[in-house]
Amino acid sequence: MVVSGALRSLDPALTRTAIVLQSGDWGVVASNFDFLLVGTAVTILLTVSSLVLGFLAGFPAGAIEVYGTGRLRGLVAGAGVVLRGTPIVVLMMLFYLGLPIPQLGTVPGLEIRVSPFIAATLALGLRSAAYQGQVFRGAIQSIDDGQMEAARAIGLPRRGAVRHVIFPQAVRRALPGFQNEFTIVLKDTSVAIAIGLAELLTRAEYLFVQPERSTAMFELILAVSAIYFVLTFATNRTLDRLQTRYAIPEGDG
């Protein structure tokens, strides 16, 4: 198939035949692999920036939902409901079109514009914060009340008890939920195609919308799914290891 692709790119007549036959066209994937890898780098970067924002905002949000009071807690809970209740593609367009993000030019090497990257990070990051906050809230609430009581009973103030006794256990319990959220964010970076951010899927689309490469549409999408799969698989394996490593030792019974 690679050979036939290469032949076709030499001979326009063969290309036309190929469109009719819809035969495999992996040559386009092979010859544009570097182009897709740059998109993959953008996808990874966007995943990381969104997750970092999601954690930085979601961790305190979860804690505020458990320990907070009054207006702050209401605000956090309300923002969570809105963010979880809006489709991510809509959220991304809202941020891209609605926020006064300055045109900051492009990132050399990655060939992306900065402003859609910021909008995508905000949309994915804040939505992730809303979900990570729920994961963390649930983890905190699952810790037995006796842990807090025992901490208070030795004279630890509430803040110290939360920090030294509740959080270290809650973070461990939140790991499976975070793991879920990591892969969701990674896959949802592809939604940035809607605002023209040149991540992996956008780059693939850029390739197959051009008439001379349209025969390779299916192959390109297949290659893109394989790349996403490798990324999610690797992430999951890494987080599995992390969970095992930081698990609290248990006896044999």
Partner 1 sequence: MTLLELEDIEKAYENEEVLHGVSLGMEQGDVEVLVGPSGAGKSTLLRCVNRLTEIDAGTIRLAGESIHDLDSNDLRQRVGMVFQDFNLFAHRTARGNVTLGLEEVLGMDHDEAVERAEAHLDQVGLAEQADSYPAELSGGQQQRVGIARALAMDPELMLFDEPTSSLDPELIGDVLAVMNDLAAEGMTMLCVTHEMGFARSAADTLTMLDGGRIVERGPPERLFENPQHERTESFLGQFTDFE
Q: What residues line the site for partner 1 (CB under 8 A)?
A: 144, 146-147, 149-157, 160, 164-165, 168-169, 172, 248-251
For the beta carbon of residue 169, count every other beta carbon within 10 angstroms: 16
Residue whose CB is less far from partner 1, 78 or 168: 168
Helix (H/G/I), strand (E/B), else coil: 106? strand
> Closest separation between CB of residue 176 and partner 1, Å?
16
Could you give phi then psi for residue 112, rounded to 5 degrees?
-120, 155
Residue whose CB is less far from partner 1, 51 or 170: 170
Nearest to 212, CA basis, from 21, 1, 39, 25: 25
> Closest separation between CB of residue 70 and partner 1, Å?
22
> Closest separation between CB of residue 73 and partner 1, Å?
23
For the beta carbon of residue 68, count every other beta carbon within 10 angstroms: 16
Residue whose CB is less far from partner 1, 211 or 249: 249
Distance CA 178, CA 165 (A): 20
Residue whose CB is less far from partner 1, 173 or 187: 173
> Closest separation between CB of residue 242 and partner 1, Å?
15
Q: Match 């544009």 to its residue by tokens.
A: 32
Distance CA 149, CA 158 (A): 10
| 243, HSE (Cβ side, Cα atoms, 13 Å) | 15
Q: Which helix or strand (DSSP H or E) is residue 79 part of? A: helix 70-84
Residue whose CB is less far from partner 1, 16 or 164: 164
Contact 202, 192 (CB under 8 A): yes
> Closest separation between CB of residue 169 and partner 1, Å?
5
> Closest separation between CB of residue 152 and partner 1, Å?
7
Cα-based angle 25, 27, 32 (whole degrees, multiple of 5): 120
Residue whose CB is less far from partner 1, 102 or 146: 146
